[in-house]
Amino acid sequence: MSVGTEIRTTPFHKMHVNAGAKMVPFAGYEMPVSYPLGIKKEHNHTRESAGLFDVSHMGQIRLSGEHAMSALESLVPVDIVDLPLMRTRYALFTTENGGVLDDLMVTNLGDNDLFLVVNAACKEADYDHLKNHLGASCEIEFYDDLALLALQGPKAAMVLSEFAPSVKEMTFMTAKQTMLNDIDCFITRSGYTGEDGYEISVSAKDAESLASSLLSSEEVEWIGLGARDSLRLEAGLSLYGHELDISHSPVESSLNWALSKARRLGGEREGNYLGSKVIMNQIENGSDTKVVGLIPEGRMPVRDGAIIQDENGNQIGYVTSGGFGPTLNKPISIARLETKFTNSHSKIFALVREKKIAVEIVKLPFVKHNYYRG
């Protein structure tokens, strides 16, 4: 793989431009932030129908070798060894200090083959991390000839099953290799919107043809990165660089649900991953900070970086992501707070342009997940 300063494009670039997209630089790529429909309508379309997202900027990696599954366990606090065939699991690359290098999806392809999807902005670092730690025992292949599409929304299953009826039976976080319109595709039932849907990995040369077929359905519209962010925010899903970073552990980011039992204290394969001492201790004894949902009073969005204060004006945290939730029709934020304030009923405030906005702590997600679990 090559790392250049030159801005890259995905195989769908021409289609985005022809669709009238506003293109912006994002993680080294020129990506569509919105289409003529606009962020709000794109957001609502995804919640009501089916949205098509170009996420080809993300990294797609194959990790293989006789011990690939147990090898990967040395880098993630997640059960990979017992991941069933063609099942997908959410994981995190941790550091020696318990921080997070990236979050990723891992699918077991069978025969000691794993398929990883990592964040665009982290993919070079992830590749180096894998090479450094697993290069001697595993083969690591970075696919730069693959595109990735996400089809998300309550009508995604109906749309996709017109091309391959069997995808309807797939349940959340399972995978399948199948043909869509004579194009070989690797599909997982997953996504980043809180809605039912699929991510479809396809060779770059077939990418345009597949997208055109999907867009020929009346239910499907291109959706840009702007709506992708408001959708994931409402769904309470972490974004690397915001809720997750190198200086906070998964426990400090309220991702305990992603830490497998088998890797915790007393589990079948406890610890033995980077930062396991710190993380296992925090699972047992708690952490100083947590990530929570906030609903600001009024209509003003409280965006990332805003300081959170207690009644006496002491800083108790900061907003990691924030904006306006079109489905809720109100501003929503995610914040990192000192743990002792996350369950208290005292009033807390966000500072926006020197104004104090009262905020209410709420459970994530803001909008209920709509995954298909069979």
Partner 1 sequence: MSIKYSEDHEWVDAKEDDLVVIGITDFAQEQLGDLVYVELPEVGDECTKGENISVIESVKAASDLVAPVSGSIIEVNSRLEDEPEIVTEDSMGEGWFIKVKLSDPAELDELMDEETYNTFIEE
Contacts of 220 by beta carbon, 8 Å cutoff, 6+ apart: 49, 50, 51, 52, 151, 159, 214
Smaller CB distance to partner 1: residue 100 or 357?
Answer: 357
For position 39 contacting partner 1 by CB under 8 A, the verdict is yes
Q: Is 282 helix (H, G, I), strand (E, B) or coil?
A: helix
Smaller CB distance to partner 1: residue 41 or 133?
Answer: 41
CA atoms within 13 A on the CB side of 207: 25
For position 62 contacting partner 1 by CB under 8 A, the verdict is no
For position 323 contacting partner 1 by CB under 8 A, the verdict is yes
d(CA 297, CA 114): 45
Smaller CB distance to partner 1: residue 250 or 301?
Answer: 301
d(CA 30, CA 37): 19
> In the set 345, 353, 368, 373, which binds partner 1 (CB under 8 A)?
353
For position 363 contacting partner 1 by CB under 8 A, the verdict is no
- Output the smallest distance, CB 351 to partner 1, in A: 14
- Output the smallest distance, CB 352 to partner 1, in A: 9
Dihedral sign from CA coordinates of 348, 352, 357, 361: negative
Pick out residues in 133-152 that bind partner 1 (CB under 8 A): none
Pick out residues in 194-253 that bind partner 1 (CB under 8 A): 226, 230
Smaller CB distance to partner 1: residue 42 or 252?
Answer: 42
For position 333 contacting partner 1 by CB under 8 A, the verdict is no
> In the set 10, 34, 94, 119, which binds partner 1 (CB under 8 A)?
34
For position 300 contacting partner 1 by CB under 8 A, the verdict is yes
Q: Which residue has the tokens 């749309």?
A: 159
50-54 and 220-222: which strand pairing?
parallel
Among 74-82, 267-275, 296-304, 339-347, which window interacts with partner 1 (CB under 8 A)?
296-304
CA distances from 359 to 132, 234, 289, 295, 373 (A): 44, 16, 18, 5, 34
